[in-house]
Amino acid sequence: YYRRSWSSESSDSVISSESGNNCYRVVLIGEHGVGKSSLANIFAGVHDSIDSDCEVLGEDTYERTLMVDGESATIILLDMWDNKREGEWIRDHCMQVGEAYLIVYSITDRASFEKASELRIQLRRARQKEDIPIILVGNKSDLVRCREVSVAEGRACAVVFDCKFIETSAAVQHNVKELFEGIVRQVRLRRDSKEK
C-alpha cells in the first residue's frame, strides 16, 4: 500500500506540474428544484464550511481546490443545467463537457428520482464508450417527514446504473463535503487504472 501511494503521488506531481491533470470538470444535472444550486453554493463557500477559497468563473461555474486523501484536486463545477435563457443547446453541452457528473434528485420528490434515471440513460447514450464517474445524489435528506424515495431505492438504482450513491442535505450541510471528495476519488480511481 505504501509503495502504491508513493508511486502514484510522485507520478501525479509530474503530471500536475506539466498538464494540470488533477483538475476535473464536474457537472450538476437533475430536475429543477432538487437543490443543485444549493449544493453548488456550499461548494463555492457561500456559507463557508469548506476551508479554501473558491473562484467564481462565471455565473454558474465555480472552481475550488480541495485536499482529498493528501493530494490536492481542483474541481470546476458547472451548474448550468437549468439555465433556460441560453436555450436547449446548454443541455447537450452539459452532456458533452463533463469529466464527472452529479445526478441530483430530491428524496421528497419521486418524479425527480425517475428523472434521474432518465438522465443516466441519456448520459450513457451521449458518451457511449466512456466510463464516466457518476454519483447519484439524493438531496434534502433533512426532510425526513416528506421522504418519498427510500435510501434502499436510491442505492439499488445506483447499482443498476453502475454509479456511486450518497444522500445529502444542502440545508443542514450534511454529506456535502463527502460528495465532492467522493467525485474526486471516483475520477482518480479511473485515472489510476488507466495508468497501469
Name the residues that contact ligand GDP, by CB under 6 A. Answer: 32-38, 82, 139-140, 142-143, 169-171
**Minimum separation from the CB atom of position 42 to ligand GDP (A):** 9
Closest by CA to 136, choosing from 173, 179, 178, is: 179
- The closest residue (CB) to ligand GDP is 35
Chain length of the chain: 196
Residues contacting 79, CB < 8 A, separation 6+: 28, 36, 37, 40, 60, 61, 62
Q: What share of the chain is helix, strand, coil (3-state, %, to 5)?
A: 45, 25, 30
CB closer to ligand GDP out of 36 and 188: 36
Of ligand GDP, Mg ion, none, which one sits near residue 47, judging by CB under 5 to 8 A according to partner kind?
A: none
Q: Which residue has the cell 448520459?
A: 123
**Minimum separation from the CB atom of position 195 to ligand GDP (A):** 35
Of ligand GDP, Mg ion, none, which one sits near residue 186, judging by CB under 5 to 8 A according to partner kind?
A: none
Of ligand GDP, Mg ion, none, which one sits near residue 173, judging by CB under 5 to 8 A according to partner kind?
A: none
**Minimum separation from the CB atom of position 55 to ligand GDP (A):** 20
Q: Residue 108 and residue 51: Cα distance in Å, rounded?
A: 30
Q: Does 83 bind Mg ion (CB under 5 A)?
A: no
- Per-residue buried b or exposed e for 116-131, using 16+ beta carbons within 10 Å of the residue's own CB: beebbeebeeeeeeee
Of ligand GDP, Mg ion, none, which one sits near residue 102, judging by CB under 5 to 8 A according to partner kind?
A: none
Q: Does 37 bind Mg ion (CB under 5 A)?
A: yes
User: Side chain identity at 163, as an amino acid letter?
Assistant: C
**Minimum separation from the CB atom of position 44 to ligand GDP (A):** 12
Residues making contact with Mg ion (CB under 5 A): 36-37, 82
